[in-house]
Structure 1
Amino acid sequence: MFGSFPSEVEPDGAVFGPHHFYLGVLLILMVCWILYADSDSDSGPWVVTGATLLSVFAFALTWPYYPIVGALGVLVLLGVATAVSVVRPFWWRTTLLARSALLLGLLVAWDDALSHALGWQTPLDLLWAEHLHPYVSDPYLPEAVRRPSGLPTDFELPFDLETLVAEQVGRALAVVPL
């Protein structure tokens, strides 16, 4: 179960490739920005914002050159952001929607960080590997969708729906950062 640390010397061989770590970070930073803009007091989500930005630095700019320091930095900084978001009273006074969005962002970032640092099979990686990647690599269109219901049997579509969906959805999913 536990091999070398980190499990990957460079996450997926390209830190600037599409990683869902970045999606989680963007959600965290968006929540922090909105809450800071709406806040009347001087206290704000500074620790969570700072720890999240430093975790991006550790992930993207440190990990490829110093794998142990970068991976450990990502895990520690995400841990700080998570702990502060749980124990700091600022976050207790926010709405349930803001706390839920922050938690979702943290979970998505943790998912990718744990996957690359420890080599664990995480839920989002499993979703990508078993359900989305096979479709991206060989797109198909289910028979029920090939001909929309309600159309007369002699009506011809001006385009090939199967080809359109297979090409466009496949291309769209190919860039989904998971």
Structure 2
Amino acid sequence: MFGSFPAEAEPDGAVFGPHHFYIGVLLILLVCLMVRDPDSESAPWGVAGLTLLSVFSFALTWPYYPAVGAFGVLVLLGGATAISVVRPFWWRYGLFARSVLVVGLFVAWDDVLSHALGWRTPLDALWIRYLYPYVSDPYVPSGVRLPSDVRLPSEVELPSGIGIPSDVRFPFDVRLLADVEPFVAENLPDALAVVAL
């Protein structure tokens, strides 16, 4: 169950990669911004501050001092979680704000526990099982189908020395928009690759 600490010397080998830890942190900070009251002294500064310090520990300490960085993230995120559970500040806000806070904490904890302790967490399992196989080896159709009646307009003149193969057809027709399957198959994996999960 427990191996070396931390399980990874640097989270996924790239601390500034698309980690879902950052998505959880953004949700936590967003809800802290939503519920703050500028007219009163009670504000979620403890949760916001500890969450920002955990980002410092994750992004800037962990790659250079792995044990200190991983331990710092666990302690600081644990402190933010404890304050959000114990402090009555959160009890007076609606279910939506508390739900966003819980989701943000869950997403951040999921990534931190995976990288620090090597546990297989639910969101990492979802990434490995469903999303990573598609992103790493996408389905690409064998050929892009272009309408046969699309031609290079005769008024376009090419500079001398530039030749275009005879089988190349240029898309100057709106009917190309109807054939989006190749476009989606080629570009969706790149779009999913930047989503931090």
What is the TM-score when the length of structure 1 is the normalising length? 0.87
Per the alignment, residue 196 of structure 2 pairs with: 177
Shift of 1:77: 0.7
Per the alignment, residue 5 of structure 2 pairs with: 5
1:110-129 Cα deviation digits (max 9, x unpaired):
00000000001111111111
Quote the Cα distance in structure 2 between the aligned partners of 1:4 and 1:133: 26
Quote the Cα distance in structure 2 between the aligned partners of 1:51 and 1:170: 35
Gapped regions of structure 1 (runs ≥ 5): 142-155
What is the TM-score when the length of structure 2 is the normalising length? 0.79
Shift of 1:171: 1.4
Gapped regions of structure 2 (runs ≥ 5): 141-174
Shift of 1:96: 0.6
**2:134 alignment partner AA:** Y
* Structure 1 pair 88–140 and aligned structure 2 pair: CA distance change class (3 A): same
Quote the Cα distance in structure 2 between the aligned partners of 1:59 and 1:113: 9
**2:25 alignment partner AA:** V
Shift of 1:159: 4.5
Describe how 1:4-43 pairs up with structure 2 within 5 A: 4-36=4-36, 38=37, 40-43=39-42
Per the alignment, residue 46 of structure 1 pairs with: 45
Quote the Cα distance in structure 2 between the aligned partners of 1:161 and 1:33: 40
Shift of 1:5: 0.3
Per the alignment, residue 147 of structure 1 pairs with: none
1:128-175 Cα deviation digits (max 9, x unpaired):
11100111122238xxxxxxxxxxxxxx86453321111221111111
Per the alignment, residue 160 of structure 1 pairs with: 179
Q: Which has the higher helix share?
A: 1
Q: SS of the residue aligned with 2:18?
A: coil
CA RMSD of aligned residues (A): 1.5
**1:92 alignment partner AA:** W
Per the alignment, residue 172 of structure 2 pairs with: none
**2:187 alignment partner AA:** Q
Quote the Cα distance in structure 2 between the aligned partners of 1:72 and 1:108: 18
Percent identical residues: 72
* Structure 1 pair 51–119 and aligned structure 2 pair: CA distance change class (3 A): same
* Structure 1 pair 26–49 and aligned structure 2 pair: CA distance change class (3 A): same
**2:45 alignment partner AA:** W
1:30-61 Cα deviation digits (max 9, x unpaired):
1101111x454211001000100000000001
**1:161 alignment partner AA:** V
**1:109 alignment partner AA:** A
* Structure 1 pair 117–163 and aligned structure 2 pair: CA distance change class (3 A): same
**2:105 alignment partner AA:** L
**2:72 alignment partner AA:** G
1:81 aligns with 2:80: yes
Describe how 1:6-155 pairs up with structure 2 within 5 A: 6-36=6-36, 38=37, 40-140=39-139
Quote the Cα distance in structure 1 between the aligned partners of 2:96 and 2:46: 20
